[in-house]
Structure 1
Amino acid sequence: MTYKNSKIFIVDDNPANTLMLHKLLESEGYLNVKVFNDPELALKAFFLHQPQLVLLDLVMPKIDGISFLTKIQTKITVADVSVIVLTASHVEEMKYKALTLGAQDYIEKPINIIETMQRVKNVLHSQLNKNKFKDLNENLNIELLKRNQDLSSISVTLDTIFETSSEFVFITNENGELTNCNKIASQRFNISTEGHWNLFDFFKIDLNSLTKNNQEMTVKDANKHRLIVSVNSTKVLIKGVISYIYIFKDITAQKEDELNLKYLAETHYITHLPNRLQLNSVLNKCLDNHLELSIIFVSFFDNNKIVEVYGHDKLEYLLLCIASKLRTLSDENNAGLLHWGGNDFVIAVEASIYSNLIEKLFSDFKEPMNILGVELYSMPTAGVFLNEARSKAMVYDDLVHKALLASYEGFRNNQKVTVYDEKLQHKIQYRALIEKELVEAIDNHDFKIAYQPKVELDSKKIVGVEALVRWNHPSLGLVSPSVFIPIAESAGLVKEIGRMVLNIVTDDIQFLKDKYPKLQHVAINVSAPQLDHSFIQILSEVSKSKDIDSSFIELEITETTFLDDLERVVPILNNIRALGYKLAIDDFGTGYSSLSYLHELPINTLKIDRSFILSMMDSDKGLKLVKSIISMSLSLDLNIVAEGIEDNATGMLLSELGVQLGQGFYYHKPEFLNEKVITKLQN
């Protein structure tokens, strides 16, 4: 049986992936390939028709790849089944778990055709060699373990072994002197019974080292080529003389395959740098050379945007270029280097020079890199953990994890370098606590809405209100939206909170109209992650189900939301306006405030950020800035709202400059609707 006749299962819930792999394997001459998009069905088929190889996706519904591996683990270890897992680059933990459960190899998505075919070939070829060796050993052991027989009783068996075996067979006396060997052994090692050869002297091995079966050792053939052999031996009586039969199995190719697989498992397939599986090895080596280590976690967050624009081909070449720069930097500083996965790298360096290395790191990446004819910038973000204890008993994963946390904290705060310390640890723990409590708060509907009035600056009449979400936690107290909203955004919870706020506010509209007879609109803040097509559907459903005039609701979106992703956001805003909702730019002036992009936005209102309102009373520069914003808004026929008005003089000046509406503590603080009034109105 050749390896191309092997039975192969492809298990992946994505039909496009299975179709591609099936066609790919067929084109390479693999004749027995079965495809399964349902992992449960694949599991049943596995035990009925045991394959030689399973290409297994790790992320699937019903039964994921790890569960699948767990269920077939006995078959992997006992039977002749190999598994290659299919995985995205960011699921490193699942990949490592799969390897510990018996998977022989992995293939990262997007799939590289040449690499995939080579890995399939390597695994099947190694398995075929293993099976041949296993069958031969079983046959030889059955025959050779029949002890205490004379030579005549086993002569036929020995002749058969000598004639048909592809292994090297030697027979010696008790002193190791060669009394017989098969033809293949004689030719390969240029050895015979005529030369009074001593097997142990010839191979320079100790007799005692061969007392156990399947012992591995290295020998050289007649041409001085190095061979790795597995040795099995048995003791027999031949014509009353104690003799030994030694079977040498050439496992050189198998060992090379194992080394190749080990290399593939422990290095990144694009950059060929050590990956996280070599963390202990790399850091132990660093500790041998340095008194104290600094762990630097280097992330290239810009690469994600590069993939969106240029695709994965450019990313692969970009990673090669990044790896080359980091390798040079590490070599110059006698530092250890790992490709942690995806766009992340780890550098371990002597603590006393870490700041110099980081300075050089950012200097090296200032200039663009020429990637297949395109000039691309990718700036790193570095998180640093300073390790002061020189102990190999430390958990290296913990050190890297702390540096990783520092890197991601730096990215959140737009900082190039962040050093991990106790303050950061407390901040991260607090964020984790808030995130956990947010989930419960959403389930328990623990959020309330306070409304801050907006007044006409001329008449002081309340014509609008802004809905402000409030969270009064039973033990943490009043948690500021500036704290929990960013955490909700990063945790993927802000859409749920936004939907809850929208429902509460739309339920309150009639009460608000009764309380403020001149009310013309209610403003609701919208976070950037909410702006997708599902939000359009939610707005459509709310206006229909609650029978409200959508033009009564104004959605306030911060300026930075537009600037981060203008091309994606503008079509969504156009759809929202088509539903009748009004749109306002909140905190205007905190971005680059360009007239050109304002022309593109379907907005009704511009809110001047409170920082500009406060500064205009103290400086001519601040006043000129506010005047220019007002002039820009009036030229575009936009309504203007000034935030943060704290005294009458500020309100009067803004009114004179042409601002229609004002909002601030001077006029009204945010307040909750009176529960008694609401109950009375409901009754």
Structure 2
Amino acid sequence: MLRYFTIRQAIGVILVFVFLFASASITAYLVYDRYTFSKQQLKSHIIQTVRTGAQQQFAIYYSDTDVLQQSLDELLEYPTIEYAVVYDRLGRMITSRTQDKNQQLPADFVQNRTNGSTLDITQIERKSPLSTSTVLEISAPVFSLVNPYQKNISRKAFGEQLAQARNQGAQNILGYYVVGVNLKQLRQTLYGYSAKVAATCLLLCLIALYLTLMLAHRITAPLASLAQLADDIADGKLDNTFRTQGSGEARRIADMLNLVLSDLSSHKAKMDVESHLLNMKVDERTEQLSRRNQELNQAVQQVTQAKDRMRQLAYYDSLTSLPNRQLFTEQLELLLKISRREQSNIALLFLDLDNFKRINDSLGHTAGDMLLREVGARLSDCVRESDLISQCFDGESKIDVSRLGGDEFTVVLNKLDEAKTAGIVAERLLESLQTPMLIDGHEIVITPSIGIAIAPQDANSVKDLLKRADTAMYHAKTTGKNNYSFYSSAMKETSVGRLKLEADLRRAVERQEMTLYFQPQVNIKTGEISGAEALIRWNHPEHGLVSPARFIPLAEEMGLIVQIGAWTLLEACRQCKAFHEQGLKLPKVAVNVSSLQFNAAFIELVKQVLIETQLEPKLLELELTEGVIMSNAKSSVQALHELKKLGCTLSVDDFGTGYSSLSYLSRFPLDELKIDRSFVIDYDKSENSASLVSAIIAMGKSLNLRMVAEGVDDIAQFHFLRKQGIQIIQGYLFSQPLPSEEFAILLADSPFEQQIEEMIRT
């Protein structure tokens, strides 16, 4: 059947193409002939209009536009004529008409008679001056028997000359008719004719095609039956017989094929029985194999899932889903081997979050975990593929950003072109954490310190490279945090010294190396000491007095500030009690409170210290910075009220450097504001600085708070603050911080009254 239809289809396709081609050719010929005839008919009509007689000659000679426009209107009755123009013998336009009455020919329109002589009728195709269509422009001269060079001929004389010239047979050109035929519209008028011709030709072709296919079918019918039989045999259908009409070769072939089919049919029946039995056995075995294969697939899937879970637990951090220390170490070792072989550089960026412990202590470990996840996500988004990062042993693991534990993260930059590229990435990492994070309803900004080590110039092993990057990170912390540092050999000694200082600091409290110094706060109206600030000092057995600016940040990082702060509070209260027992009346002692101390446990600590030292609560003043009380203003209000209930006085230290809200300041139960020393030092730098100090003082007074200026070191500052109404001053102008023994002598002598009188007189 396939072979029969292929032959028949081939014949049919050939005939279709033949008849379609013939139909198209005939249609094209007839349409083109009609198109040519239409153009010739238009041309004949134009010539007939131009040469209708003396009326045209009169009108052109005398430029009678009314007569000429009537003539042109007759031409424009043909819709295919787009415009018609009459020129005089010199080519000057006399009048024109267009199909659209509102449309005018352009002023620079010029007759084009480049082809033929002045006596010929010319025709050219050109772009229409009225539209974008193409027009066939026909130019026909108007002849006259009157000589056009005679001027001022009357109509009567013109007519007489026409009569005389007619007898003489002279010919002169009076002017030209120019007609533009729109070829597009001319073709559109033939669409209906084309459709009729095409339909007639197509109908004749279809009739001829049908008759031809019927004839082909009668000729190929026996072949079709034979092809059908062959297809049935190929499909295994042996019960059919070959049938054909007539006699001769086709009948003999049919008889032989039917005999062969009979034998094949009996053989097929026997084979079908045997095949059925075999298929039953195969189906049984296939079902067994399918069940076992399904069980095996389930087992493999379970093993794969277990392997993936074990790998996830072994190589990835459960909190952030970042690579952990194990995967980081294995992959970095592989990268170092590759870099040595390819002689390329690797940069290791070691990140540690600044003051992260404060987040855990103040908001809890759940908030800390949320913050770590957000930090991990931001770092991962920040590191681009173009920075690239790792070659992995399994093609999937990446250590571009890893979490080694706690608040420590690493970034590895592979195949580094130059060291400054690592600095660019570090700046991008710093920038990514500048946007505040919303953690458990709190807006938090966490900053990192980043240390950068380059392999192989800084180290060749994972252990050494980590150590160098860690050293550089600690150097970044000591230089102000929220920045990055490249490792240098000079940092090694600093790192060793820092480690020793950390070890000494852990044992400093136990060895009683910490001591308190006291700096007086002087009332400049009475000259009396109105209080003292307790300042901790570390008397190191080898290095002597260590600056608080050096060991306080270190204690905060190590988590020792709470222990040191508790010792400072207890020792300040004991010493104040001792001063009073010696008969030295110290109105109050001020103790600084670290941000890491200020929590619920701190209130209980103050209670216990006051009970243990038996110090009157009003003699204890607690100094907190703006940042501490404003970090969580609502909880701070409650905590400060509880401290106030104990009888303690409360002071805001370093006021003006934070972001206090006046609405919250009015709600805090404060007693005192201490103007930061930076404002005191810079008061004379500009009018704005002095105005700012004045505004702070005015605000404090409006809130009925005691104002204290700290960091006053010279007489000019004294006079400025006295003029602004400050009563209490603390600074080197009166005394530097003193040990308790020397401060006791200062309390007994009260030497400031005379000093203040002398300064006022100067």
Letter in structure 2 aligned against 1:337 = D
**CA 604–430 in structure 1, closer or farther in 2 if over 3 Å, else same:** farther
Q: Give a deviation string over 1:618-640, Cα, whole Å, max 9, x none.
A: 43332122111111111111111
Aligned residue for 1:296?
A: 349
Q: Distance in 2 between matches of 1:309 and 1:301?
A: 18
Amino acid at match of 1:276: F
- Secondary structure, counterpart of 2:559 in structure 1: coil
**Residue pairs, 1:177-576, within 5 angstroms:** 258=307, 261-262=310-311, 264-268=313-317, 271=321, 273=323, 275-278=327-330, 279-298=332-351, 319=376, 322-326=379-383, 328-331=385-388, 337-341=400-404, 344-356=409-421, 358-359=423-424, 362-363=427-428, 366=432, 381=448, 383-387=450-454, 389=456, 394-407=460-473, 410=476, 413-513=480-580, 519-576=586-643
Q: Deviations over 1:604-652 (max 9, x none)?
A: 1111122211221343332122111111111111111111222333223
Residues 168-224 of structure 1 show CA distances to partners (whole Å, capped at 9, x for unaligned) of: xxxxxxxxxxxxxxxxxxx99xxxxxxxxxxxxxxxxxxxxxxxxxxxxxxxx9xxx
The equivalent position to 1:671 in structure 2, one of 726, 729, 738, is 738
Larger RCO (alpha carbons 8 Å, 6+ apart): 2
Task: Tell me what 1:145 maps to.
Answer: none
Q: 1:476 to 1:261 in 2, by over 3 A?
A: same
Q: CA deviation at 1:457?
A: 1.3
Q: How big is the shift at 1:662?
A: 0.6
Greater strand proportion: 1
For the residue of structure 2 that corresponds to 1:414, the secondary structure is coil
Using the TM superposition, give the Cα deviation of residue 390 of structure 1 relative to its aligned residue in structure 2, in angstroms: 6.4
Q: Distance in 1 between matches of 2:672 and 2:481?
A: 29
Separation (CA, whole Å) in 2 of partners of 1:676 and 1:599: 35
Q: Which has the higher helix share?
A: 2
Alignment partners' CA distance in 2, 1:370 and 1:665: 42
Alpha carbons 1:463, 1:518 under 8 Å: kept:
no
**In 2, are the aligned partners of 1:336 and 1:348 still within 8 Å (CA)?**
no
List per-residue Cα deviations over 1:359-396 (Å, max 9, x = no partner). 35655865979999x999988746243335369x9321
TM-score by length of 2: 0.50
* Distance in 1 between residues matched to 2:411 and 2:377, nearest whole Å: 15
Q: What CA RMSD, in Å, does the superposition of the two structures yield over aligned residues?
A: 4.8
Q: Distance in 1 between matches of 2:727 and 2:687?
A: 22
- Provide closer, same or farther for how the CA distance between residues 324 and 527 of structure 1 changes in structure 2, counting only shifts above 3 A: closer
Contact 1:381 1:407 in 2 (8 A): no
- 1:83-135, Cα deviation, whole Å (9 max, x unpaired): xxxxxxxxxxxxxxxxxxxxxxxxxxxxxxxxxxxxxxxxxxxxxxxxxxxxx
Secondary structure of 1:421 counterpart: coil
Alpha-carbon distance change, 424 to 576 in structure 1, aligned in 2, over 3 angstroms: farther
Equivalent position amino acid for 1:406 in 2: A
2:657 & 2:443 partners in 1: Cα distance? 28
Q: Which amino acid aligns with 1:292?
A: N
**Aligned AA (1:284):** K
Query: Which letter does structure 1 place at the counterpart of 2:328?
Result: R
- Aligned twin of 2:38: none
Aligned residue-pair number: 443
| Residue identity matched to 1:356 | T
Residue in 2 that maps onto 1:649: 716
SS in 2 for 1:556: strand
Letter in 2 for 1:575: E
Tell me, what secondary structure is at the counterpart of 1:443? coil
Change (3 A) 1:408 1:472: closer
Once the two structures are overlaid, the 10-residue window that deviates more, 640-649 or 280-289, is 280-289
Give 1:351 deviation, angstroms. 4.3
Query: C-alpha distance in 2, partners of 1:470/1:371?
Result: 38
Mean Cα deviation higher: 286-295 or 624-633:
286-295
Give yes or no for contact 1:330–1:347 (8 Å, CA) kept in 2. no
Write the distance in 1 (CA, Å) between the matches of 2:554 and 2:444: 29
Q: What residue is the counterpart of 2:181 in the other structure?
A: none
Secondary structure, in 3 states, of the residue corresponding to 2:400?
strand
Structure 1, unaligned runs of 5 or more: 1-186, 189-220, 229-249
Partner Cα separation in structure 1 for residue 667 and residue 518 of structure 2: 30
Q: CA separation in 2, counterparts of 1:385 and 1:567?
A: 40
Q: Distance in 2 between matches of 1:417 and 1:456?
A: 45
Contact kept, 8 Å, 1:296 with 1:382, in 2: the verdict is no
The CA distance in 2 between the partners of 1:614 and 1:520, in whole Å, is 27
Change (3 A) 1:259 1:657: closer
Residues 452 and 484 in structure 2, CA contact (< 8 A), matched pair in contact too: no
Contact 1:464 1:523 in 2 (8 A): yes
Amino acid paired to 1:348: L
| AA of the residue aligned to 1:261 | M
For residues 574 and 294 of structure 1, do their structure 2 counterparts lie closer, same or farther at Cα, with a shift above 3 Å needed?
same
Alignment of 1:45-194 (within 5 A): none
Q: Structure 1 residues 347, 332: CA separation in 2 closer, same or farther (over 3 Å shift)?
A: closer
The alpha carbon displacement at 1:296 in A equals 1.6
Distance 2:569 2:509 in 1: 14
| Partner amino acid, structure 2, of 1:662 | I
CA contact (8 A) 1:302 1:378 kept: no
The alpha-carbon deviation at position 302 of structure 1 amounts to 10
Over the matched positions of the two proteins, sequence identity in percent amounts to 26
Aligned residue type for 1:280: E
Question: 1:597, 1:629 → 2: CA distance?
Answer: 15
Amino acid at match of 2:610: S
> 2:699 is matched with which residue?
632
Cα contact 2:455–2:465 (8 A) shared by 1: no
Query: Does the 8 Å contact 1:559/1:591 carry over to 2?
Result: yes
Partner SS for 1:394: coil
CA contact (8 A) 1:442 1:497 kept: yes
Query: Given residue 266 of structure 1, which amino acid in structure 2 is its aligned partner?
Result: Y
CA contact under 8 A between 2:437 and 2:445: conserved in structure 1? Answer: no
Q: Distance in 1 between matches of 2:566 and 2:444?
A: 38
